[in-house]
Amino acid sequence: MTGIVIWHNPRCSKSREALRLLEETGAEPTVRRYLDVPPTEKELRETLDMLGGCAIGMMRTGEDLFSELDLTKDAPDEVLIAAMAAHPRLIERPIAMADGRAVVGRPPERVLELLED
């Protein structure tokens, strides 16, 4: 297995829990504080491909910013990806990736799926 990368927000309890769970298995994930180092649109598209879903599935739709930007759950992926790149706090957290796969850590235990074959 290649290394696990986790898009992490240390202020989020779910993100902290996911990181703790990974570390307890002996994994040494690379932590990316995505609010400090936002992913590019290209990185967001690549992550979306690994998740295998729609962009809305990796967004925090309950954030006030989501409605302030007039975003909707049926907006095209490209619009949502551009919004996440410009406003990374719209990205659901945490997202963990390894070996061409990604999971949204909701609940945090989902990140352990990356350790399975």
* Residues with active-site annotation: 12
H/E stretch holding 13 reads helix 13-24
Closest Cα partner for 92 from 102, 4, 100? 102
Q: How far apart are CA 45 and CA 110, in angstroms?
A: 21
Q: The tokens of 49 are what?
A: 């491909």
